[in-house]
């Protein structure tokens, strides 16, 4: 399961307009943090544990790339798009200000912290994402990874090898699952036939 562009837009609207209440979390902080997490999952294709373990030193804003330690300690580098770069910069700027007020943030090597812990856990991220579920779709962090693969296939004209490398799949068969087109993709293809 993945998100359509419309569903992703609806989700961003929901995050902006109706932040999910969380005990003791500043709404501004929650908004920027949640948005940055959603963007990293969707625009970099991170697995939830990769996101939880992401360190400040893994992000290179100058070279516009993220170093990701994936399954089996395999390291991959994913380029940062301009869209993602803006989100990351917003979050890191806010995080730096938070570090002045919260010692556990200042001392943390991780990009994302929870309210009281220097690391936002996998379970914490899963719960946060699930709280934003759409009326007809229960959201999971992995759904954003599926979305990344689906959107990347479309953006690369189905270049499965590029997508495999970006997603950190060791086997191309894993990536090829995303080639299965949705009905709307098939309808768009048929509509794109030349008219005579």
Given the residues 76, 142, 162, 165, the one annotated as active site: 142
Dig out the tokens for 166 from the structure. 């970006």
Dig out the tokens for 180 from the structure. 């299965």
Is 138 among the residues known to form the active site? no
Given the residues 71, 74, 123, 177, the one annotated as active site: 71
Q: How many CB atoms lie within 10 A of CB 85?
A: 16
- C-alpha count within 13 angstroms, C-beta hemisphere, residue 177: 11
Given the residues 35, 95, 119, 145, the one annotated as active site: 145
Is 123 among the residues known to form the active site? no
- C-alpha count within 13 angstroms, C-beta hemisphere, residue 192: 6
Cα 116–Cα 41–Cα 80 angle in degrees, nearest 5: 110
Is 31 among the residues known to form the active site? no
The Cα 87–Cα 68 span in angstroms is 18
Is 47 among the residues known to form the active site? yes
Given the residues 33, 95, 146, 169, the one annotated as active site: 169
Is 183 among the residues known to form the active site? no
Given the residues 35, 47, 119, 146, the one annotated as active site: 47
Residues identified as active-site: 47, 71, 142, 145, 169, 178
């Amino acid at each position: 399961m993945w998100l359509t562009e419309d569903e992703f837009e609806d989700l961003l609207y929901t995050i902006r307009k109706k932040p999910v209440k969380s005990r003791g979390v500043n709404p501004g902080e929650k908004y920027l943090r949640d948005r940055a997490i959603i963007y990293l999952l969707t625009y970099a294709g991170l697995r939830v544990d990769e996101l939880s373990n992401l360190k400040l030193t893994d992000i290179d804003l100058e070279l516009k790339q993220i170093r990701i330690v994936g399954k089996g300690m395999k390291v991959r580098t994913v380029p940062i798009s301009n869209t993602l770069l803006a989100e990351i910069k917003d979050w890191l700027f806010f995080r730096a200000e938070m570090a002045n007020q919260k010692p556990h943030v200042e001392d943390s090597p991780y990009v994302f912290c929870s309210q009281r812990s220097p690391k936002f856990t996998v379970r914490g991220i899963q719960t946060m994402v699930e709280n934003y579920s759409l009326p007809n779709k229960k959201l999971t962090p992995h759904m954003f990874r599926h979305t990344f693969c689906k959107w990347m296939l479309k953006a690369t004209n189905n270049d499965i090898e590029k997508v495999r490398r970006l997603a950190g799949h060791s086997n191309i068969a894993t990536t090829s699952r995303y080639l299965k087109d949705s009905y709307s993709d098939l309808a768009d293809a048929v509509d794109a036939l030349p008219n005579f």
